[in-house]
Amino acid sequence: CVIIEIVFLYTKNCILDETSLFKNENLKILIQPICLDYRNSFNPLIREVQVINFCFQLLSLPKIDPDVELISIIFNLIFKPTLEMIKPNFEDYPDIRKAFFSLLEKLIRNFFFFIFKLEKDPIQSEISFELIIHSIIWGIKHPDTTICNQNLEICFFLLNSIEK
């Protein structure tokens, strides 16, 4: 957890510093081991909500300029394994569940057009988009009204974005 905080503070300071030579490539190099470790934790009980929050905070930085590869890292190494972890029921891992849906909202609201480019193969991109749609629908059915309302708003935003 402390390492994640240090990496985030370092990244934040580099991104916000106008004179910094810190680029997206450096960001990918920094976050990939953290995300890989999260995905490779076969026991969901040892996965930390701080990793999801870390990704959310990174994507929330005002001067962040992510590319499709960075979004793909977060999607494949954080989003997918977390979804597998929380989808069997609506009760386990409440903190991870809330962070997951916040990350989903951030991805949809701020990086919508990257979603269609997550995979090089168009069929895989379609499968990833379908996974996102299923996540939103699952969130709408959630008994926690905060998560339900959040996903209704995500769905509304998504439909408006597709319309444009």
Residue 45, token pair as written in the block: 């009980």
Report which secondary-structure segment, H or E, holds 39: helix 24-40
**CA–CA dist 162, 164 (Å, integer):** 5
Question: Is residue 109 within 8 Å of 161, Cβ to Cβ?
Answer: no
DSSP assignment letter at 90: S
Number of domains, the chain: 1
Could you tell me how many residues make up the chain?
Answer: 164
Amino acid code (one letter) for 26: N
pLDDT attached to residue 115: 80
**So what's the pLDDT on residue 18?**
67
pLDDT per position as a tens digit, 127-159: 889 999 999 999 999 999 999 999 999 999 999
Half-sphere exposure of 85 (CA within 13 A, CB side): 27
CATH number at residue 131: 1.25.10.10
pLDDT at 121: 81
> Residue 144 is part of which domain span?
2-163
Q: What end-to-end distance do the CA atoms of the chain give, in Å?
A: 40
Q: Is 41 helix (H, G, I), strand (E, B) or coil?
A: coil
> Mapping DSSP to helix (H, G, I), strand (E, B) and coil, where does residue 103 land?
helix
> Residue 25 has what pLDDT?
72
Q: What pLDDT was estimated at residue 156?
A: 96
Residue 89 contacts by C-beta under 8 Å, 6 or more apart in sequence?
none
Contacts of 163 (CB under 8 A, 6+ apart): none
For the entire predicted model, the pTM comes to 0.90
pLDDT of residue 108: 94
Q: Print burial letters for 38-72: b (CB count within 10 Å at least 16), e (below 16).
A: bbeeeeeeebbbbbbbbbbbbbeeeebebebebbb
Per-residue pLDDT of the chain (164 residues), as tens digits, is 788 888 888 888 777 776 666 666 778 888 999 999 999 998 888 899 999 999 999 999 877 777 888 899 999 999 999 999 999 999 999 999 999 999 999 999 998 888 877 777 878 888 889 999 999 999 999 999 999 999 999 999 999 988 76
